[in-house]
Structure 1
């Protein structure tokens, strides 16, 4: 059997006529309801009124439909615009451009959560990229200085006219700069390992007072050479922690105290405990740290006085390493300092138990 295809225009006309018929039928029904209260007019006016009501219904429905279609089209365009912005932002982020920000919209498609998420991702990635660039710049700067010194003094050693004293002096400088490079590399590796969790902590129970005493004795040649008085007041107490890492904390802090305390100064080390915590304070009578610098001293490569730090062999990583180790032990480290009066570092760790005298 052969099927015939109806033309779309014919179908549209039929549907339109059907819709008009429905509107006028509805108008006729409405007028009949009205006539129950107002009375029925002559047939002529009844048809006129019914037709006017039908036309009015058509106009109202058409206006409402146009308004709804307009609002829906606007929302669709808004939806498409937001989608376009989101796709563009994600493309820019994928290409390494993190300077992205999308305005939030008050829409019914609930894009705001997605938009806020993308803005947050872009901001965090931008911060990480800035940190990465700063890190590379700082590492390059720290490496370049000793390499320049090593290269320069190695070239001077080629001269045949140098005395033995001059050669020894240049060799001493090369050795010192080589140690600086080695310390920089070692600290960077330790920080990287601790932050990535590449090497788990080895927690054991040990006497913290004994460890502090041993570190102070190990550094005796340094503080004795500057005629610094080392005052130690240690409560007998044991803790659980990574003994090797915590030893680095005390070595770094005491080394800094010795380095920045002038000859004839005083360094005090105290250890106390209460029911829950152990508190170690390392106080010196050194040059002190300005308030504006204290909030930055735990940042990598930060140096209060770059020229002075370089002369003393620092690389700005020691305190970053100290803070990371203390945090891995669920502890806190707090600096207090005043220019010309010295610095105190307070380290709080969880207490295991007190050790009684034998």
Structure 2
């Protein structure tokens, strides 16, 4: 390999220095250009003919260097695109004759802006067909409180867009108070489970059960609203999130980024053992924007204050549950989506209109595309 490098350097010196020397002899410009061009072509042909005798390690080193560079560039773009997923633009317009109503009614729509920063990400609002192709054969578990239930309903609305009868039946069954729900969409082989788990400790128990069997392909979780109302203690909430994080990390292969506080797990499989199943795609739904004056009970207005909400958010970030803070779950930021949609998108200051959860579903689907390096 050293001889090859030396040969290349000598060739470069010949191409550069010989024409310079000729220019010093005051040859005409045309003659000098002709001679240097002929010299360059001769050297190029010689290198081409002798390339089979160059050490193969040189070419492999070059290819591996290009491959590594491509991975770095793609990984950087992937993280950049994930960070831009929630930068959606809302459009609220008054419906006809809305001014005659006691409470004006608005049409709500949203889209990703066509900005220079997000254009390379090619975010897409997936149709039923596209979402079905992406999720084909998947087991999806959505676990948490009423926000998670609304998210599961929006996902079903998309997957059952061509079957209104099945969707109406699913909506009725899904919204039975404080109950679990399971369904199978046989045309695309998608199984969707909703698990009523309003506290983080409920989620920890659920994840522990997954460790005893294969986990789902996609797991979406949330908790916090019930804890704010029933327990009203941000420190206790933080401790429960840390327990949940440790339990979730045990579902995925060892990663140094996740092992800083002992949560990581190194595989003990031998080289002859079959590879472990792929890690599930993990998401955390943040709490929505709470509009205190619109909350529908005095207890909620007294306990679920902006100050307490801020303290709960700090505990979430301190727990390192989120991928954005070094944890395993990617944040689905309901707070920013609901805040930007505004007061016209909620009737009770806590549960928001359908477009907010539809946007959340589309953000999750685009995150799955990015994480799996797919394009539609």
TM above 0.5, yes or no, is no
> Larger radius of gyration, structure 1 or 2?
1
TM-score bin (small chain): under 0.3
> TM-score, structure 2 length as denominator?
0.22
- Bigger helix share: 1
> TM-score, structure 1 length as denominator?
0.23
Higher relative contact order structure (alpha carbons within 8 Å, sequence separation ≥ 6): 2
